[in-house]
A and B are shown apart, each in its own frame.
Chain A
Amino acid sequence: MSMDPKRSSLIRKLVYLAVAAALLIPLFVIGRPAVVREEGKSSGGGILAEMRQRQGIAQSELGEVDPASSAMRLASLGLHGVAVAVLQSQANQAKIDEEWDEMTALNNQILRLQPNFVQVWDFQAHNMSYNTSVEFDDYRQRYAWVKKGVDFLMEGERYNRDDPLILKDLGMYMGQKMGRADEHKQFRRLFRKDDQFVQTFPAYIDINRAYTRYGYDNWLMAGLWYDRSVSAVDERGKRLYGDGPLIFYRNPAMSKMNHAEALEDDFRPDEVAQDAWENAEEAWLGFGDRPVSSSWGEALRLNQLEQIRLQVADRERQLDELAPGVRERIVEERKKQLDPLFVQAVDTPPEQRTQAQVEQANAAAPALDVDPRLILAEIPSEKKTGQAVRLADQIAKLKQYATYVDRYRNQIAYDYWLGRARLEGTSDAIAARNLVLDAEEHFQAGRLEEAKEDFEKGFALWKKLLTEFPVTLESTMADDLTDSIQLYGRTLDSLGEEFPKPFDLQRVIDRQTGVETPVESPEATEEDPAA
């Protein structure tokens, strides 16, 4: 109060100035950007830069800072969150109004404002590749929009180096979108020759590895992106998010499977497809060998199931030796409580079970599985050594582990795809497919006798293959066969012949129709192949 007001004002200003200057020091320490030195190494930069580097957020180096993005964020004075919300809603409106260019322009602005918000890239890319592309009637325009989404994601990846979600999405768009859309034949055809497009892929995608005799393959390309996403997690320490590990690690191998399948769909099955299946099998087994962290906290290896089952059997045998007859007695007691149909199903050797029996046996299996502790309880106390307790304990743990592995394998149809790849990799499968295709061509051309002959040869081969790889009866492949069988039926109709009974591929039909065809006697089925 007593101070001269002018002087007090001056002092106050000086203090402000000093404080402002002092504040610049921590700002410098925190915010100093890393600078790329000539040899390509970057200096550490400030605390924020180091954190960015550590977290793998891009633009931690001065030379990489995107001026547009930075300028926009600066210009919005920290309100870029609000701006993004407004732009986002405008982009949505543009989509409703079918103003695609405007939508793209708005998306670009949004991402300049929030380049490191991965989900925004994800969302908008999906908007382009999936939602916008289908608004167009011409498949070439649709393809162009799918590519726009991919371009967009690639740009997102430049801002967010090695982000597993973006990399995985790139694989997904390249694979699932191009390979599964209604227009997948057209998309794949366009992609095969789309040099211009694949040339824009970053250097770490070795596009030559996705080049086949026919051109670039979208599924193989997808596999390369997936590989990159896996290596981002495995080698470059990125956190896996979005997908569960099982699905995430399956992607590269799965895209090889899809590649092989698509090849057979687009072209005549030949040695290229055969190779593709073999590669797919190899990749699949590789995937089975890798540890996959599970929701039980334990890392599982899908390939271990058979090995573990052997271990269980071995230990159970050892345990049974300590308590002879106990297991058999318990099983017999339990069987008495079961439906006799189920018991009969269980007693039928697995390869002779009908479809219903397979299901019944599966349903009965848990009830007939004897807890090792029950056997342990029956062991007389003088024989109840530490070994017996340990065995029982091990069996329980191994069984638990096997259950987990089994569940995981079921989730992704592990057995089916493995069996499928093995089946398709055989020369018989190629021959069988070609025979059926020949037959279909004969049918279309009206050469019914030849059609019938090729169908029957083909089906005989298929029967052999399906017996060898029963697991492949599941799912899509059998569906394809059903169509061929129907055509075969029409061929026979035209020839005025009866549908053969029993039919080689009766089980395929049964699976499809869900109707069980009674098998007269096991012997009759045995003689079939000769017929």
Chain B
Amino acid sequence: MIEQFQVLPFGEWFVSSAIFYVVVVTLLIVIGFAVAAFLNVVRYGPLEAFDRLTLIAGTAFSDLVNFSPRRTWAIARLAFMEGIRRYVLAVFALFVVVMLFAGWFLEPNADEPAKLYISFVLTTSNYLALIMAALLSAFSLPSDIATKTIYTVITKPVRAGEILLGKIVGFSSLVGLMLAAMCVISYVFVVRGMAHDHTVAVADLTEERLPNSDVYLYRGVTTRANGHLHPFTVNQQGQGETEIENGHYHRIATLFDVRGAWTFTVSDSASGSERTFVAVMSGSVGSPAVQIAEGDGSLPAAESLEAWSRPQLADASYASVETAQFEWTLPKEVTGKGRPLRLEGAIELPVRERGGFLSIEGDLYEADGEGEIVSGLTVRGLQRLAENPDDVFEMQVGDHEGMLEARQPVYGTLRFLRRDGNPGEGIDIGKEGSRRGYVEGGTLGAAIFTYDGITPEEFPDGLPVEMDIGVFRTIKGDIERTVRGSLQLVRPITATNTSVVESRKIDFASTEFKLKRIDIPREIQSEDGSRELDLFEDLVVDGKLEIWLRCEEPQQYFGASWKDVYIRQGDSSFFANFVKGYWSLFLQSTVIIAFCVMFSTFLKSAVTLLAVACVSVLGFALNVVTLGTFRGIITVMREKSPFFSRVVGTMGLEGGVWGDVFQARENPGGGVVESAIRIVMQKNQTIDIDTIPEGMMMAIRWFDFFGMLIVWLFCQVVPNFSSFMTADFVARGYDIGWNLVAQQTLATAAYVLTLTVLGYFFLRSREVAA
């Protein structure tokens, strides 16, 4: 699985990429010209070669000047039509079939089903789109050439460049259209796959009184749906959230049915009288009705009912609705004051009253007055609840939340402190494939994340920090509890700030493989507890803030990589993110199409496919190849050339962005030939081969060096497909930034342009286009 990768800021990316692009293109031009010149000279002799080259250059220039978007578009339409005749429908049908049966293998009861579903649809779409892109474009031009249809096109005033670009545009828009359809189907598939309903019943709640208080909590478990259930806790009003299971939670609200017969008494402290009435509430929320009668039912005293409301789940702020407000006008027969009065009160809805009594209490106001309370009159009422609380209460479980998201994280840079408090690297605990550095608990060791762009405008309510850290125990410790750790906010030392300000430690119990959220408030105590710190005034410097992650238990370890602790800036739309994911797939397919069209100008279809397959494999494995070979080269060069070594040293290339490449590293085992010799001689990577003379070994190493150089050079022109793999962002619920979208789009455009030009010359070099 492709890991989420770090995205460079656009400016930084653009400058470095643009320079690189110019260098590579220049190299291509130089090499291309040299090769063309050489071939022409060999074939035709120097004079004619010169003529031919100037002719090609001349026509190329005129082709460029006379480039016609209209003709290109015409070719594109033709390509589009051609594509529809070929494979598109079949591939699309295959996709639909896969989607139909996918449900058999995807488990909605996985720990994080959304991740599973999303990466499945994106991967499937990706493979199908790539295959289709390659098949479409690899066969088009060669078959045109083979069937000589190309001549009919050439006879028209269409230029070679227009044919190529037209084909690329036509095929990629076809693939794009198909991807758009796949996107919609996949979206529906994912959303439907995730949808599920739980129910809960008031009768099944267990009551728990918080120590030393009158506050009660109610615990329960939802019914099972999609193979999971959620334990939950609600407050006395029956509101709360479930625990996170399978990567999501639900909100719970409890509706209370206040309809029925209420008994209430009106006591008059002046006369000492107390009269009992019965109010029968009926109707619905929109059109409520109440009838009030003397306790013995003798006197119908219906007057009017202003309004009463009850909490609604649809109400976004339902969490704050804790009581049902009501407002009745009591007729003069009831008030005993000779005039009607307005009763304003609230019905509390404690879930704990299930099966018992509910009470109302309210104040009486002058019905037509200015909200003046009539003193001396008190109203208290009771309602007997039904035997089965679920006849009265309705607990509603909301939709799943936290599953189909597009979080916008602010990532920081990460450095470590060793156990003695000095800077160093994170501890490697020897876990295979782990990218995390670990810090030892109960020591001065810490993982320090430095964030930029922390402003009060972005985070007015404090910082929502989310963590997904690794836990490693060296002793069993307390099994019942997870390992404890802490976060601490620290004012970073910068050019403008030299004073250390630390907040108090925020303790947490670790969770593994589950996102943990910690909300850091704007006001936080200082380390020594002496004063309140303001997040932005005291701790943030120039938008920069450090968060120190520590493990607080001795002999236990926390592990983190740069992306494991971030500040959640907000959320963007999941659908938009999903579309962005598909946009990446589209760009990837477009690059493949451009390569195919370029290759097919001089290769047969099958060979084109093979060539594109090679490019794709290299493109996906690029990170591995480039870094590996580059390091090998640098190491050899630094060993062999003290001058080079000095240059690297004085330019400070060993640190910073290039550090990963320029730092001298062991290159155990050497290159291709050396490795082969080692295998035959059964010498492992670290043993010196002493049976081969030194000079011979030297020669082998230089040979390997040039071999690596060639591989590296080749890799530079191959698109880095892993930077197009955004499936992981979508699947894990992280927003694909517009920055990344722009980078990918621009890179694709550069490839299309370059490959078109390259293909133009190849096509021209074939006599057909001349």
C-beta contact mask, A94-111 vs B, less than 8 Å → 1, else 0? 101111111011001100
Complex Cα–Cα for A183 and B480 (A): 9
Please tell me if the beta carbons of A137 and B482 are within 8 angstroms of each other in the complex.
Answer: yes
Does B140 interact with chain A (Cβ within 8 Å)? Answer: no
Does A71 interact with chain B (Cβ within 8 Å)? Answer: yes
- CB nearest to B470 among chain A residues: A98
Please tell me if the beta carbons of B112 and A101 are within 8 angstroms of each other in the complex.
Answer: yes
Please tell me if the beta carbons of B513 and A136 are within 8 angstroms of each other in the complex.
Answer: yes
Please tell me if the beta carbons of B512 and A137 are within 8 angstroms of each other in the complex.
Answer: yes
* A residues less than 8 Å from B510 (CB atoms): 137
Complex Cα–Cα for A190 and B224 (A): 18
Complex Cα–Cα for A68 and B107 (A): 13
A-binding segment of B456-464, B471-479, B686-694: B471-479
CB distance from A218 to the nearest CB of B (A): 17
Does A476 interact with chain B (Cβ within 8 Å)? Answer: no
Contact of B1 among A97, A183, A185 (CB under 8 A): A97
Does B432 interact with chain A (Cβ within 8 Å)? Answer: yes
Please tell me if the beta carbons of B111 and A183 are within 8 angstroms of each other in the complex.
Answer: no
Please tell me if the beta carbons of B471 and A94 are within 8 angstroms of each other in the complex.
Answer: no
Please tell me if the beta carbons of A138 and B511 are within 8 angstroms of each other in the complex.
Answer: yes
Complex Cα–Cα for A186 and B229 (A): 20
Does B230 interact with chain A (Cβ within 8 Å)? Answer: no
Please tell me if the beta carbons of A105 and B473 are within 8 angstroms of each other in the complex.
Answer: no
* B residues less than 8 Å from A104 (CB atoms): 107, 110
Please tell me if the beta carbons of A96 and B432 are within 8 angstroms of each other in the complex.
Answer: yes
C-beta contact mask, B112-138 vs A, less than 8 Å → 1, else 0? 110110011000000000000000000
C-beta contact mask, A425-442 vs B, less than 8 Å → 1, else 0? 000000000000000000
C-beta contact mask, B1-44 vs A, less than 8 Å → 1, else 0? 10000000000000000000000000000000000000000000
* A residues less than 8 Å from B113 (CB atoms): 101
Please tell me if the beta carbons of B101 and A71 are within 8 angstroms of each other in the complex.
Answer: yes
* B residues less than 8 Å from A138 (CB atoms): 482, 511-512
Complex Cα–Cα for A108 and B101 (A): 14
CB distance from A127 to the nearest CB of B (A): 14
Please tell me if the beta carbons of A98 and B104 are within 8 angstroms of each other in the complex.
Answer: no
CB distance from B1 to the nearest CB of A (A): 6
Complex Cα–Cα for A93 and B433 (A): 9
Does B105 interact with chain A (Cβ within 8 Å)? Answer: yes
CB distance from A104 to the nearest CB of B (A): 6
Most chain B beta-carbon contacts within 10 A, residue among A93, A135, A137: A137
Please tell me if the beta carbons of A99 and B1 are within 8 angstroms of each other in the complex.
Answer: yes
Does B57 interact with chain A (Cβ within 8 Å)? Answer: no
Contact of A105 among B116, B224, B483 (CB under 8 A): B116
Complex Cα–Cα for A141 and B246 (A): 12
Please tell me if the beta carbons of A105 and B1 are within 8 angstroms of each other in the complex.
Answer: no
- CB nearest to B3 among chain A residues: A97
Complex Cα–Cα for A504 and B421 (A): 55
Contact of B229 among A71, A105, A136, A196 (CB under 8 A): A196
CB distance from A141 to the nearest CB of B (A): 7
CB distance from A59 to the nearest CB of B (A): 16
Does B154 interact with chain A (Cβ within 8 Å)? Answer: no
> With contacts A108-B107, A139-B480, A196-B229 known, is A98 near B513, CB below 8 A?
yes
Please tell me if the beta carbons of A139 and B107 are within 8 angstroms of each other in the complex.
Answer: no
Does B606 interact with chain A (Cβ within 8 Å)? Answer: no
> With contacts A68-B105, A196-B224 known, is A182 near B479, CB below 8 A?
yes
Please tell me if the beta carbons of A136 and B512 are within 8 angstroms of each other in the complex.
Answer: yes
Complex Cα–Cα for A488 and B112 (A): 52
Does A112 interact with chain B (Cβ within 8 Å)? Answer: yes
CB distance from A66 to the nearest CB of B (A): 9
Most chain A beta-carbon contacts within 10 A, residue among B112, B113, B479, B512: B479
Does B746 interact with chain A (Cβ within 8 Å)? Answer: no
Contact of A137 among B112, B119, B224, B483 (CB under 8 A): B483
- Count the B residues whose beta carbon is within 8 Å of the partner chain — how many? 29
Contact of A101 among B116, B473, B512 (CB under 8 A): B116
C-beta contact mask, A48-75 vs B, less than 8 Å → 1, else 0? 0000000000000000000110010000
C-beta contact mask, B92-112 vs A, less than 8 Å → 1, else 0? 000000000100111100111
Please tell me if the beta carbons of B479 and A183 are within 8 angstroms of each other in the complex.
Answer: yes
Please tell me if the beta carbons of B111 and A97 are within 8 angstroms of each other in the complex.
Answer: no
CB distance from A319 to the nearest CB of B (A): 60
* A residues less than 8 Å from B119 (CB atoms): 102
Complex Cα–Cα for A182 and B21 (A): 58
C-beta contact mask, B198-225 vs A, less than 8 Å → 1, else 0? 0000000000000000000000000010
CB distance from B222 to the nearest CB of A (A): 12
Interface residues of A in 105-157 (CB under 8 A from B): 105, 108-109, 112, 135-139, 141
* B residues less than 8 Å from A71 (CB atoms): 101
Please tell me if the beta carbons of A112 and B110 are within 8 angstroms of each other in the complex.
Answer: no
- CB nearest to A69 among chain B residues: B104
> With contacts A101-B111, A105-B105, A137-B473 known, is A96 near B433, CB below 8 A?
yes
* B residues less than 8 Å from A67 (CB atoms): 104
Please tell me if the beta carbons of A139 and B110 are within 8 angstroms of each other in the complex.
Answer: no
C-beta contact mask, B493-522 vs A, less than 8 Å → 1, else 0? 000000000000000001111000000000
* B residues less than 8 Å from A137 (CB atoms): 471, 473, 482-483, 510-512
Interface residues of A in 81-98 (CB under 8 A from B): 93-94, 96-98
Please tell me if the beta carbons of A182 and B112 are within 8 angstroms of each other in the complex.
Answer: no
Please tell me if the beta carbons of A97 and B433 are within 8 angstroms of each other in the complex.
Answer: yes
Please tell me if the beta carbons of A139 and B115 are within 8 angstroms of each other in the complex.
Answer: no
> With contacts A105-B110, A196-B229 known, is A100 near B101, CB below 8 A?
no
Complex Cα–Cα for A183 and B481 (A): 12
Please tell me if the beta carbons of B513 and A141 are within 8 angstroms of each other in the complex.
Answer: yes
Please tell me if the beta carbons of B512 and A141 are within 8 angstroms of each other in the complex.
Answer: yes
* A residues less than 8 Å from B483 (CB atoms): 137
* A residues less than 8 Å from B115 (CB atoms): 101-102
CB distance from A114 to the nearest CB of B (A): 14
Complex Cα–Cα for A105 and B1 (A): 13
* B residues less than 8 Å from A97 (CB atoms): 1, 433
Complex Cα–Cα for A96 and B434 (A): 8
* A residues less than 8 Å from B107 (CB atoms): 101, 104-105, 108
* A residues less than 8 Å from B433 (CB atoms): 96-98
- CB nearest to A71 among chain B residues: B101
Please tell me if the beta carbons of B105 and A102 are within 8 angstroms of each other in the complex.
Answer: no
C-beta contact mask, A291-305 vs B, less than 8 Å → 1, else 0? 000000000000000
> With contacts A136-B512, A138-B482 known, is A94 near B1, CB below 8 A?
yes
Interface residues of A in 341-362 (CB under 8 A from B): none
Contact of A102 among B116, B229, B471, B513 (CB under 8 A): B116
* B residues less than 8 Å from A102 (CB atoms): 1, 115-116, 119
Complex Cα–Cα for A105 and B112 (A): 11
* A residues less than 8 Å from B112 (CB atoms): 101
CB distance from A4 to the nearest CB of B (A): 31
Please tell me if the beta carbons of A68 and B1 are within 8 angstroms of each other in the complex.
Answer: no
Please tell me if the beta carbons of B105 and A139 are within 8 angstroms of each other in the complex.
Answer: no
Complex Cα–Cα for A100 and B105 (A): 15
Interface residues of B in 46-81 (CB under 8 A from A): none
Please tell me if the beta carbons of A186 and B480 are within 8 angstroms of each other in the complex.
Answer: yes
Please tell me if the beta carbons of B1 and A139 are within 8 angstroms of each other in the complex.
Answer: no
Please tell me if the beta carbons of B1 and A109 are within 8 angstroms of each other in the complex.
Answer: no
Contact of B110 among A101, A135, A141 (CB under 8 A): A101
CB distance from A10 to the nearest CB of B (A): 30
Pairs A–B under 8 Å by Cβ, sample size 27: A68-B101, A68-B105, A71-B101, A94-B1, A96-B433, A97-B433, A100-B513, A101-B107, A101-B115, A101-B116, A105-B105, A105-B107, A105-B110, A105-B116, A105-B120, A108-B107, A109-B105, A112-B105, A135-B513, A136-B512, A137-B510, A138-B512, A139-B480, A182-B479, A185-B479, A186-B480, A196-B224
- Beyond A136-B513, A137-B483, 17 additional contacts (C-beta under 8 Å) are A68-B104, A68-B105, A94-B1, A101-B107, A102-B1, A102-B119, A135-B513, A137-B482, A137-B511, A137-B512, A138-B511, A138-B512, A139-B480, A182-B476, A182-B479, A186-B480, A196-B224
Closest 9 CB pairs of A and B: A68-B104, A96-B433, A137-B471, A101-B110, A137-B512, A101-B116, A96-B432, A183-B479, A137-B482
